[in-house]
Structure 1
């Protein structure tokens, strides 16, 4: 690969895990990643991760891959990867399983989660063994962001919303985060402005967008019903933050590496 060519983004999925707090207000689950991680080390993020090749082989209940493809602007195979990675990563990182089926003992479920996280067994095999089936209808598509072309590690990430199913609790039992807890969007944004946590631009933008929703149900119901346009931020030398589509000076040709950025420096 030519040194000037951008790294191809790896497909990934992220979930805005939602609930209503004790006061009835919307809360979202956020994790502060381990500082030494290669991507977003030390940042506070929504749970998620890269798509595994095995993800696409898992069957589910709910809208078919073609439905998701239409909304995420990708192929059905890519859409299946996004959806199933979202479910798997939520299970691995938070202990919340967006699935339906027979009741499973908590200890058995914990061991299954560890097997998936440690890659001892693939997610589909674990679900089959437990008599469970993914509930893709518990997810709603929200956004799609692509890491800027200048970054050495890039992701093409589909963002989804999901309300924590009754009887389940999100936890912080993951090796990828030093802490995880529930935040109101406004409180997370305030903590960022006060320098208490770090937020990447996609996380910050989404928290800003959802802050006006009063509760989990209203946010989950507000998911886009049409095709979602990918957001590719533009890095400009000398600016403290990236530019997004609609910002003054944003140029998609420059952001995608198809034109020189000299006029924007």
Structure 2
């Protein structure tokens, strides 16, 4: 039996906050499956405190203004989310993704410092002569949970590739406490062993990504799979409450018992 949590939000459910998340791939130095960048959030964070997630955060007004100026031909919500993904990645990790121009470790460090000073991406792009490459970020999924007991985010997930990924990482200590690389299957094993905590959307996305050994495979799958908005619901299965997602979004695992689902 499906609950009403799949229906449009009621008046007592806060409006969704637009957000963007980016799944960054790099080649495994030892030759194994591609590795993904994962971020362990600070335990003091209200939403998903202590959870391991992909880099990302809220889309703000400055992201929308920049997207409107640089890509007026694109859907504004999607373009603004791509800008937010680039900005949040630089702020949280020190990595520069999704831009055209000269990028090296020293420039990335200077750009991150400039971003921390200004809080917006536009002056960073101007100062370092970078241009966003919107198509370098591949739309993978869109999640819009509407559970009343959690913060409501309408989050777009993107894929990006670093190739060799031979770069240093910088921890944003205000929100994160640890950054690391792991394959999707390794991250799932770490979660099963209790070494990390993953929220429901992260687990489902790791399961989906674990089917592909490299960025090319994940990218081809993303481009071939229509992106539909995913709003989990609760249904009863033999007297047990399960948290479920729709079956047409490309996910190999559609749910788990509510008792084991970590929703942030």
TM-score between both structures, scaled by the size of structure 2: 0.79
**1:137 maps to which residue?**
135
Q: Which residue of 1 aligns with 2:64?
A: 56
Determine the C-alpha separation between the residues in 2 that align with 1:184 and 1:104: 25
Contact 1:236–1:242 under 8 Å retained in 2: yes
- Which of 42-51 and 183-192 deviates more? 183-192
Do structure 1's residue 9 and structure 2's residue 16 form an aligned pair?
A: yes
The residue aligned with 1:242 is: 243
1:177 aligns with 2:176: yes
Q: Which is further off, 40-49 or 185-194?
A: 185-194
Cα deviation, residue 245, structure 1: 2.2
Structure 1 counterpart SS, 2:78 = helix
Q: 1:240 to 1:42 in 2, by over 3 A?
A: farther
Which of 21, 34, 39 is equivalent to 1:26? Answer: 34
In structure 1, what is the equivalent of residue 208 of structure 2?
Answer: 209
3-state SS, counterpart of residue 11 of structure 1: strand
Say which is worse superposed, 141-150 or 3-12, in terms of deviation: 3-12
For 1:220-239, what aligned pairs fall within 5 Å after superposition? 220-225=219-224, 227-235=226-234
Distance verdict in 2 for CA 1:106–1:172, change over 3 Å: closer
Q: Note the aligned Cα RMSD (angstroms).
A: 2.9
Look up the match of 1:161. 159
- Secondary structure, aligned partner of 2:37: strand
Question: Shift in Å at residue 78 of structure 1?
Answer: 1.1
Give 2:48's match in structure 1, choosing from 40, 43, 51: 40
3-state SS of 1:32 partner: strand
2-structure distance, mates of 1:168, 1:123: 24
Partner of 1:257: none
Length-normalised TM-score, structure 1: 0.78
